[in-house]
Amino acid sequence: MTTLTINGTTHELDVPDDMPLLWAIRDIVQLTGTKFGCGMALCGACTVHLDGEPIRSCTTTVGNAAGGKITTIEAMKEDPVGQQVQNAWLDLGVAQCGYCQAGQIMSATALLKQNATPSDAEIEDAMTGNICRCGTYNRIRHAIHYAADAMQEDS
Amino acid sequence: MTVSNDSLMIANVSRRRFLGGMAGASALVLAARWDMALASDEEKQYGAAGMPGGWVDDPNVFIQIDPDGSVTIINHRSEMGQGIRTSLVMVAADELGADWDRVAVQQARADQDRYGNQNTDGSRSMRHWYDPMRRAAASARMMLEQAAANEWGVPASECEAGVHEVAHKASGRTLGFGELAEAARELAVPERSAIELKPIEAHRYIGQEADPVRQRGSGNIERPMAIDGEEIVEGSATFGADIQFDDMVHAVIARPPVLGAKVASVDDSEALKVTGVEKVVTLDTNSEPAGFKPMGGVAVIASNTWSAMQGRDALKIEWDMEAAGDNARYNTDDYRQALEKAAQSPGKVIRSSGDIQKTLDGADQTIEATYYMPHMAQAPMEPPVAVVRLRDGKAQAWAPIQNPRAGREGLAGVLGLDKEDVTLNVTLLGGGFGRKSKPDYVLEAGLLAKETGGRPVKVQWSREDDVHHAYFHALSVDRLEGALDADGKAKGWRHRTLSPTITSLFQEDPEHKGGFELGMGFNTMPFDVPAIQLENPEAESHARIGWFRSVYNLPHAFAIQSFAAEMAEAAGKDHRDYLLELLGPARRIDPRDFGDSWNYGEDPSVYVIDTGRMRNVIETVTAKADWGRDMPKGRGLGLAFHHSFQSYTAIVIDAEVGDDGSVTIHNADIAFDCGFQVNPERIRSQLEGACVMGIGIALHSEITFREGRVQENNFHQYNVPRMEHAPKQVRTHLVNNDPELPMGGVGEPGLPPVAPAVCNAIYAATGKRIRQLPVNDQLAV
């Protein structure tokens, strides 16, 4: 049995240690906000936080995630920065199909936690691993600045 | 989401707003049912009426009002990011007079008999459904007014629906929609001729773009927030991949590496040893043409996706490549060369005016160019996925699908069931772009549902599966020749277009593009040139060719808009001025005069080829982009326009080419004319997204075949745009928002002019003409 702590809840899972965290989260724990897009850490749809760091859950094994604090999109509405990012996404109408946006929001939230006022170049650097096939990148960039501004106003 | 309830039907209801259940006993359920007003069989049907299943405007089908006042709108078109679940609901809510905060949307199951056409492609949803949805909602509103009139004993003409209530002005009395719902359900549906639509200016939501920012905490909504928006950002929206059942099994399939190859033998002994693997099933390879049929292969069924993938990796499969015939020798490099050779010789003449050969022979100057666009995969972020459960002779399916009818009837076919015994629930689509118009992945789940003893089975495609087994955008070669006189004026235009055709999905060895493909900007080419000849030489097909957003408009626009720029250069004239000269004076051309009898299925007397609207978007976009201004070294402006899906788009791209050959897009200005606009905010986001996708088509995206196998595997080899490739700024300029203009499409028409505009900008920046896509490292020196 492997113990995973996801969004503050402890789960005892009977899965092999080499199972990617993504499939443990989606198929076993059945939290489906985290998406499968490529399986090779190329698209970022599966981004979650492990001890606060954005990681690709499709290439992080359950064995490597055990013992850490895993945070998924489902917990973002309880997270002060995550909330600002979600609000920015809604205010600016970022999402089109929406499938990649959980991963985008997880990457953006991690960025803003480390850098409250990122430049365009810093945003591109942090977000280049997240593909959006609908092409919402301009609004994502705008929304990250917008969330950063909202955080400044609140602080 | 975990569900194990037999009666579960995925509703995709916006949970924030949904207040009541469907078809409750006291809901507004209207008895009457209208038949479509069909003209005589001899008369050709256009628009929605010309589509399978036609249109339906029965309020009973689309609108429910519960006694608590909650309004539920049934949306029967598939949502893949184009925003139709929001936009069609805006139409219904406005015409009904419903308060947006008390409106929920419920996704319709696949049932074309009940809902009318559900095939969500061709940028048709709004242009075909605006009118029927308005009529349905207006009927419901009139019935509520009549119910109030009856209650108060006054004439209905004195009762007027406002926002979510009906008022009697003389007495100041009001009744809420919920209070009237029960009485209204007993009333007859108004005759269609008696339906009174609201004047456009009375709409509260349609056309609303007052403020793109939500007023937090004010309670005021300046424009409707997108349906599903909150669920998307919270991770609770239900895509096809998100369907879960406690007893569900997971399958992945090793498909034939070459179209048509068969399983010769399979050793599944190692696969069955993988923890969680339950069963290995060999699927038949269907004979060509490929259609929407599953490809065959070997399926591994397991308790979770990862085990199924591990099991698939452990399979030892021998493939019978002979069964694939010529497909096993398909090599895109060779194929391209063959098409380029064929482009040197005459082909089937599609359109001809004047004497092109004589004009070319006698010209003061001639130019010639051959353009190439490769195969591409749609690669929606959600790879194909479907869930099917077969129990007691009935099938329940859940799938992200653009063409629900094809999925349902296809499932009935593979399961040997009547379609009435097949329920297909349409989930949100994690992108479509044409890939999910083909239900092969849904049918695979149907075949495997026969193997799981009544348990639901999910077929999950990996990204590699998706890249290898797309229905590919057709590779294309377009050769153009132009004749110019001493003043540089265009006198002759010859265009030969060569591509495999989508018709090859459905019939053996078609050699020419179909009318629906030629009509995508080829035979409808609008330039006012004395001698024009358009030809379509033969081209075979060796892979599954399918719709990709904008389809054949992509190569046609790339070739035509690049060549127009090349002619301007040869003439020594400004590109914009030359384009306007090529277009000539504003004309309204009947597409039939160009030999186009398809016209995207629309009435050619209403939907004409309007060169005035083309001129307008060109003039608008060049003015907005400050066309003609001096640009820094290594930076240039590129222009292109295209008319497709009954809309008009012109783009100016501001591109910089670095010393290393890398391309940075600084700005994109897009002028767009789709006629009347329902949801301008979503029109803008569709244009922004199309611009990004078009940049990828120009710079990065390519699928190649060798020995019949796709050479790219995942996003490290099949390159799609990332944030750094997007323009630093996109500005959209919407023009001609006129209710009198017939509505055009939105999802696709923004895409075709992007790649030629990018390449024209690269030319302006560097003097290097790109004729082969993608650019990749062509600019590296």
Domain ranges within chain B, ordered by starting residue:
47-234, 240-324+380-468, 332-377+471-766
Both tokens of B483, joined, read 């004749």
Q: Tokens 């609901």 sit at which residue?
A: B89
> Which of A89, A101, A141 lies at the smallest CB-CB distance from B723?
A141
Closest-CA residue to B769 (of B638, B653, B576, B665): B638
The answer to whether the CB of A143 falls within 8 A of the CB of B685 is no
Kindly write down the DSSP assignment for every residue of B356-410, as one continuous string: HHHHHHT-SEEEEEEEEE-BB----SS--EEEEEEETTEEEEEE--S-HHHHHHH
| Contact between chains at A92 and B726 (C-beta distance less than 8 A) | no
Both tokens of B443, joined, read 């049918």
User: pLDDT, tens digit, for every residue of B744-753?
Assistant: 999 999 999 9
Domain pair B240-324+380-468 / B332-377+471-766, same fold = yes
B80: left (phi over 0), alpha (psi -120 to 50) or beta: alpha
Mutate to test the interface with A, among B273, B381, B714, B722 (most CBs of A within 10 A): B381
Is the predicted pLDDT of residue B13 greater than 60, yes or no? Answer: no
Over range B617-642, report the average pLDDT: 98
Both tokens of B170, joined, read 């003389």
Distance from CA of A52 to the nearest CA of B (A): 18
At position B92, the amino acid (one-letter code) is A
Strand partners, B369: B480
What is the dihedral sign for C-alpha B501, B505, B509, B510?
negative
Strand partners, B546: none
Written out in words, the top-level CATH class of the domain with range B240-324+380-468 is alpha beta
Is the predicted pLDDT of residue B17 greater than 50, yes or no? Answer: no
- 3-class secondary structure for B435-451? HHHCCHHHHHHHHHHCC
- d(C-alpha B586, C-alpha B581), whole Å: 11
User: pLDDT, tens digit, for every residue of B312-355?
Assistant: 999 999 999 999 999 999 999 999 999 999 999 999 999 999 99
- d(C-alpha A32, C-alpha A74), whole Å: 9
Domain pair A2-75 / A79-154, same fold = no
The CATH classification number of B332-377+471-766 equals 3.30.365.10
A residues 49..68 contacting B (CB < 8 A):
none
Q: Provide, as residue numbers in chain B, all residues whose Cβ is less than 8 Å from the Cβ of A27.
A: 244, 250, 304-306
What 8-state DSSP symbol labels residue B566? H
Distance from CA of B103 to the nearest CA of A (A): 18
Q: What was the ipTM of the complex prediction? A: 0.99
Is the predicted pLDDT of residue B409 greater than 60, yes or no? Answer: yes
User: pLDDT, tens digit, for every residue of B18-64?
Assistant: 222 333 333 333 322 233 333 344 578 999 999 999 999 999 999 99
| Contact between chains at B692 and A139 (C-beta distance less than 8 A) | no
Question: What is the predicted pLDDT for the residue at B10?
Answer: 34
CATH superfamily ID and name for A79-154 = [2Fe-2S]-binding domain (1.10.150.120)
The CATH classification number of B47-234 equals 3.30.365.10
Both tokens of B447, joined, read 């075949």
User: pLDDT, tens digit, for every residue of A48-92?
Assistant: 999 999 999 999 999 999 999 999 999 999 999 999 999 999 999
User: Does residue A107 belong to the interface with chain B, where contact is any CB pair within 8 Å?
Assistant: no
User: pLDDT, tens digit, for every residue of B299-311?
Assistant: 999 999 999 999 9
User: pLDDT, tens digit, for every residue of B686-698?
Assistant: 999 999 999 999 9
Question: What is the predicted pLDDT for the residue at B30?
Answer: 32
Over range B391-406, report the average pLDDT: 98
| Contact between chains at B235 and A33 (C-beta distance less than 8 A) | yes
Over range B515-525, report the average pLDDT: 97
Q: Provide, as residue numbers in chain B, all residues whose Cβ is less than 8 Å from the Cβ of A39.
A: 309, 462-464, 714
Predicted confidence band of residue B9 (pLDDT cuts 50, 70, 90) = very low
Question: What is the predicted pLDDT for the residue at A129?
Answer: 98
Over range B596-600, report the average pLDDT: 96
Mutate to test the interface with B, among A14, A31, A138, A139 (most CBs of B within 10 A): A138
What 8-state DSSP symbol labels residue A66? T
Cα radius of gyration rounded to whole Å, chain A: 15
Question: What is the predicted pLDDT for the residue at A154?
Answer: 82
In sequence order, the 6+-apart residues with CB closer than 8 A to the CB of B392 are B454
Question: What is the predicted pLDDT for the residue at A24?
Answer: 98
- d(C-alpha B1, C-alpha A59), whole Å: 23
Strand residues in B199-274 grouped as ranges (E): 249-254, 262-267
- d(C-alpha B28, C-alpha B177), whole Å: 10
User: Does residue B724 belong to the interface with chain A, where contact is any CB pair within 8 Å?
Assistant: yes
- d(C-alpha B387, C-alpha B410), whole Å: 14
| Contact between chains at B380 and A97 (C-beta distance less than 8 A) | yes
| Contact between chains at B226 and A93 (C-beta distance less than 8 A) | yes
The CATH classification number of A2-75 equals 3.10.20.30
B residues 423..482 contacting A (CB < 8 A):
428-433, 460, 462-464
Kindly write down the DSSP assignment for every residue of B28-75, as one continuous string: ------PPP----TTSPP-GGGGSTT-----HHHHEEE-TTS-EEEEE
B268 phi and psi, to 5 degrees?
Answer: -105, 15
Predicted confidence band of residue B577 (pLDDT cuts 50, 70, 90) = very high
Question: What is the predicted pLDDT for the residue at B287?
Answer: 85
What 8-state DSSP symbol labels residue B748? T
Mutate to test the interface with A, among B86, B306, B427, B695 (most CBs of A within 10 A): B306
Helix (H, G, I), strand (E, B) or coil at B152: helix
Question: What is the predicted pLDDT for the residue at B8?
Answer: 31
CA atoms within 13 A on the CB side of B719: 19
- d(C-alpha B109, C-alpha B78), whole Å: 10
User: Does residue A145 belong to the interface with chain B, where contact is any CB pair within 8 Å?
Assistant: no
Question: What is the predicted pLDDT for the residue at B28?
Answer: 36
What 8-state DSSP symbol labels residue B420? G
The answer to whether the CB of B129 falls within 8 A of the CB of B77 is yes
Identify the closest residue of chain A to B382 by CA–CA distance.
Answer: A37
The answer to whether the CB of B20 falls within 8 A of the CB of B27 is yes
Question: What is the predicted pLDDT for the residue at B222?
Answer: 56
Question: What is the predicted pLDDT for the residue at B18?
Answer: 25
User: pLDDT, tens digit, for every residue of B695-752?
Assistant: 999 999 999 999 999 999 999 999 999 999 999 999 999 999 999 999 999 999 999 9
Strand residues in B538-594 grouped as ranges (E): 588-589
Distance from CA of B278 to the nearest CA of A (A): 15
User: pLDDT, tens digit, for every residue of B72-86?
Assistant: 999 999 999 999 999
Q: Provide, as residue numbers in chain B, all residues whose Cβ is less than 8 Å from the Cβ of A128.
A: 722-724
Q: Provide, as residue numbers in chain B, all residues whose Cβ is less than 8 Å from the Cβ of A127.
A: 723
Domain chopping of chain A, boundaries: 2-75, 79-154
Question: What is the predicted pLDDT for the residue at B210?
Answer: 58
- d(C-alpha A99, C-alpha A154), whole Å: 29
B residues 291..350 contacting A (CB < 8 A):
304-306, 309
The answer to whether the CB of A43 falls within 8 A of the CB of B716 is no
Instruction: Compute CA B230 distance to the chain's CA centroid, rounded to the nearest angstrom.
Output: 24
